[in-house]
Amino acid sequence: MKNIHLSIKDIGIFLLAILLSNLLISTLYLYTNMSLNTNNTLLLITTILSFSYLGLVTGRKTTNKGYISGLIVSGIVISIMFIISILFHNYISVFKILYYILLMLVTVISSIIGINIKKR
């Protein structure tokens, strides 16, 4: 039960960090002369870095296999993001699915790295 509580806390902090970083980058796009491609690239980079940090934290806290904990945590977060995306956009695209697969792979790989760092 304690591990589930810690995971929910980590996921909540993670979602808040993504929300704030995306809000900051979107505000910069709105009030500066930043191009749309630069904005999208920055959003992708910050999201990937956030997912990799979540995977590292999850990997360091787990006692199981790293890829299993990475799949579980990324599955939870991506399903939340997917539901929110469906609610606001009402369509599913191939690029969106590839984006979520990329985020899941980043989380799994960083969770594997996190469990290997813990063992040292």
pTM: 0.81
Q: Residues 65-87: pLDDT tens digits?
A: 777 878 888 888 888 888 888 88
Q: Pick the closest to residue 3 from 80, 84, 68 (CA basis).
A: 68
Helix (H, G, I), strand (E, B) or coil at 71: helix
How many separate helices (H) and strands (E) can be counted in the chain?
Answer: 4, 0
| Distance between start and end Cα atoms, the chain | 27
Segment 10-24 shows an average pLDDT of 85
Q: Residues 31-66: pLDDT tens digits?
A: 988 888 998 899 899 989 988 888 888 888 777 777
